Amino acid sequence: MSAGQGSTQGKGARVRKRPAAAGPTLSAGEARAKVSPARLAAFEILLLVGQGKGHSDELLHSERTDGLSPEDRNLATALVMGVLRWQIALDARVRGLLQRPDQRLAEPVAIALRMGVFQLLHMDRIPAHAALSESVELCRAAGEPHATGMVNAVLRKVASAQRPGTRIFESAAAFAERLGHPLWMVERWVAAYGRDAALAICEADQHEHGEGGMFAEAELAEGESPSATLPTMDDGSRLVAEIAAAAMPSGLDHPARVWDCCAAPGGKTLILAMRLGEAELLATDVSAKRLAQTAARLRRFAYAERVKCGVADAAEAKRLKGEFDLVLCDVPCSGTGTLAGNPEIRHILKVEELARQAARQERILRGALDRLAPGGRLVYSTCSLEPEECERVVEAVVEEAGLRRVPVEGLVGRLAAVGILKDGVELGSAMRDGVLRTMPGVHPCDGFFAVVLERV
């Protein structure tokens, strides 16, 4: 029933149609009118996500939610993000209640069931009758009236069932399903980081991470414009940007030149602009659309006025003029360190895509290094938990002559010493062999990897 398992109703597995003797039923339009605006918006967004026609965050900030009240917008967001986080577990729960567990449901039916089960199991303030009746009407509104009886029966079983107890020990397969993660992904984390860390990652992925937990709050001086404040961003992204700024080589005899070579959406660029004073900053991205959005974001901050933007593929960096003293190479990646905020990744990503991502990342890193000045430093980073995209990409490049690693421990220590990191923030276990590796649930942020390379 999950997005990766198909979404059409298989032959020989049809849901029994409603008999004519049961009397008239509501039309799709009438059924739609009986569904609350929040649930209808969430249902439509989940359909689009499942069809690969949009990202949940973008759709939740589109015209589909513009007309909702703040309360309805919050409910729609909770439903979309919750269903995507728990989809694998929800599907497993439903599968055990079907007359034929191998039955493949039409995608609108599957989504209506997921929404209903999620509300019954994870939203205590939602009345059971509302979750049940509106899920039934969503099926009817989507042109699947034959499935309403089955949806009603399954949700009644869920509502009346006793909650399962806590197991003394769970296999990786058991907690992967319970916590809504693909087994192949969890098995990789167990192999790379151990069972306890993999379990902590899965548990953390089921909740939105808070912002600002690791960093001291900057106070505005009297009369200071809000445009002088730091951008809103997750702690993992900010940590990478702060490390990059701290890595700026000292003792330069010329104005520092800094390049953020995969800059969109621009949060890290803003940190560099704030921290690096008079440095010349160039922000590039391969996507013209994303770069335009980045440029618009930069314009909202007075200290970013000097940042120059340009469309460029970092893998073809020879086309750029000059060399840079500092390069931030935060490459596109699978994003497995950010599943709390990007839950659909777990339903879309395939293991075979990691090799393709790694090949692209290596090209970008090599291209960025082509523009690194002697004595200059480059920060390579990802928001991936997968070694292929992180350590192995660096290993393939760092063996080349003329590069050395700069231990990240000293840079993080500097951030703590100047008060950028909050007192008591402990990142010791995130730094090993000079490299940063944070993990959700283990450290107070998303999963990030960062290494600092220096041209000698």
Work out the angle at residue 73's Cα, subtended by the Cα atoms of residues 301 and 126, and round it to the nearest 5 degrees: 140
Whether residue 435 is predicted with pLDDT greater than 90 in this model: the reply is yes
HSE-up (13 A, CA, CB side) for residue 275 = 22
User: In angstroms, rounded to a whole number, what is the distance separating the alpha carbons of residues 226 and 142?
Assistant: 46
374 phi-psi bin (left φ>0, alpha ψ -120 to 50, beta other)? beta
Whether residue 220 is predicted with pLDDT greater than 70 in this model: the reply is no
Averaged pLDDT for residues 320-332 = 95
Higher pLDDT, 404 or 230: 404
User: In angstroms, rounded to a whole number, what is the distance separating the alpha carbons of residues 1 and 87?
Assistant: 9
Q: Where do the DSSP E strands lie in 385-425?
A: 403-406
pLDDT in tens, 384-405: 999 999 999 999 998 777 899 9
User: In angstroms, rounded to a whole number, what is the distance separating the alpha carbons of residues 15 and 261?
Assistant: 52
Number of other residues whose CB lies within 10 A of the CB of residue 279: 20
**Structural domains of the chain sorted by starting position, each given as residue range(s) with its CATH number in brackets:** 3-160 (1.10.940.10), 226-455 (3.40.50.150)
pLDDT in tens, 50-78: 999 999 999 999 998 999 999 999 999 99
Check if the beta carbon of residue 59 is closer than 8 Å to that of residue 45.
yes
Whether residue 211 is predicted with pLDDT greater than 70 in this model: the reply is no
Averaged pLDDT for residues 176-202 = 97
Confidence of residue 5 (pLDDT cuts 50, 70, 90): very low
User: In angstroms, rounded to a whole number, what is the distance separating the alpha carbons of residues 330 and 449?
Assistant: 10
Averaged pLDDT for residues 279-290 = 96
Cβ within 8 Å of residue 72, ≥6 positions away: 36, 37, 38, 41
